[in-house]
């Protein structure tokens, strides 16, 4: 059994993810929180899941993408970006939950179809059902280390916990 260890960094949070399997898919994982919440991986019978948190919808959506981005490109902190492009994107959905999934899947679509990494996300306007944003991209310096097919609607919910919004998201890998 080959064990790969990744350290996930985001907004003063550190999580350790142990992944093991012959095909590189997570079969056993443990996420240990070291400080402030941004996102955390969760145990699930599905392929992979995480909980994202944010003070508002903008922070929640950015933290949800940060979880996916860290799984795809765990060595991102040491990469050099040579060419950057910007793209505008607008989404309309029926609810905040559907908007979050549409947002994550649109970003995954761009990553895989254009062979790019998303360097930055500027959410310019957001309501519970609409989103306008700009994203900065750069060509892959190496392909993603995990193939994520889609963010799913399985058990999707956005709830308010104390002062934070919290979204539970499951990924099909």
Question: pLDDT digits over 30-49, tens only?
Answer: 333 333 457 777 666 658 88
Domain limits, the chain: 3-172
Quote the CA–CA distance of 21 and 52 in Å, as a whole number: 25
In the predicted model, what is the mean pLDDT of the chain?
79
**Domain covering 3-172 in this structure, CATH number:** 3.55.10.10
Quote the CA–CA distance of 47 and 33 in Å, as a whole number: 21
The answer to whether 148 touches 25, Cβ cutoff 8 Å, is no
Query: What is the pLDDT at residue 7?
Result: 31
pTM above 0.85, yes or no: no
């Amino acid at each position: 059994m080959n064990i790969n260890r990744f350290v996930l960094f985001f907004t003063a949070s550190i999580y350790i993810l142990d992944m093991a399997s012959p095909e590189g898919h997570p079969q056993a994982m443990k996420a240990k929180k070291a400080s402030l919440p941004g996102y955390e991986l969760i145990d699930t019978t599905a392929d992979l899941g995480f909980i994202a948190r944010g003070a508002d919808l903008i922070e929640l959506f950015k933290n949800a993408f940060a979880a996916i981005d860290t799984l795809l490109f765990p060595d991102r902190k040491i990469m050099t970006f040579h060419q950057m492009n910007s793209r505008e994107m607008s989404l309309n959905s029926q609810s905040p939950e559907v908007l979050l999934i549409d947002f994550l899947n649109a970003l995954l679509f761009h990553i895989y179809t254009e062979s790019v990494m998303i360097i930055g996300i500027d959410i310019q306007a957001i309501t519970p059902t609409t989103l306008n944003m700009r994203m900065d991209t750069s060509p892959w310096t190496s392909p993603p280390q995990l193939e994520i097919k889609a963010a799913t609607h399985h058990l999707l919910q956005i709830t308010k916990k104390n002062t934070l919004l919290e979204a539970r998201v499951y990924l099909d890998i």
